[in-house]
Every structure is written in structure tokens, then in C-alpha cells.
Amino acid sequence: MHGRDAHSEEPVRVTAWVRGKVQQVGFRWWTRARALETGLTGYASNLGDGRVQVVAEGPAADCERLLALLRGPDTPGHVSGVTEIWTAVGPGYQGFEIR
């Protein structure tokens, strides 16, 4: 995807791995609230290495908005970095879960 194509309404999936002090600080619940406000589906889960994995599906522009929030100053805890990959949507999610 490049140019305006990245902002189309076609649904996409973004998987993000958030590093920093992001466990035991309400980060997954905060992420869920932001995703639901944006209309995204997916989940947030703690990983054994201290990161939080966020999987979100929806229009690319909305996924980009969530990534910007994850990298922004208002997250609980402290985010030191976010790595993401973009893929086609999977079988889909009913809502946005905490796992």
C-alpha cells in the first residue's frame, strides 16, 4: 500500500508489539477503550517478555490512528517503542478483547 491507497476504507489488520513498562499498568484496558472508540476489532495481550501485542482490524486510517495513540504521550505506563506489521484481515473478531 502506498499513497492514498493506505487510507482506503478496505479493512486491514495491523499487529503491533509495544515495548516498555506496559504490563500491570492498565495498558491493555486503555488500548481496548481507544480501539473501541475508533471502531476497531481485535485484541490486546501480554507477552511473556514484557511486551503487549495488539492486533487490530478495520480501515487503514483507523488502524494508523490507534498506532499513533500507542506511540503518543497519553498511554499508561511508558512506551519505549512500537513495531508493527500490516497484513490482510483474518477471519475477523467480534469486538476488542483483553487476552
**Quick check: is 99 catalytic?**
no
Packed helices 60-71 and 27-38: angle between N→C axes, nearest 10 degrees: 150
Catalytic annotation, pick one of 28, 34, 51, 65: 28
Residue of 4, 19, 32, 46 marked catalytic: 46
Which cell goes with 96?
Answer: 476488542
CA 24 to each of CA 27, 83, 97: distance values in angstroms, whole numbers, following the listed order: 7, 20, 17
Instruction: Specify whether the CB–CB gap between 79 and 87 falls below 8 A.
Output: no
Please indicate whether residue 4 is annotated as part of the active site: no
Query: Which residues are designated catalytic?
Result: 28, 46
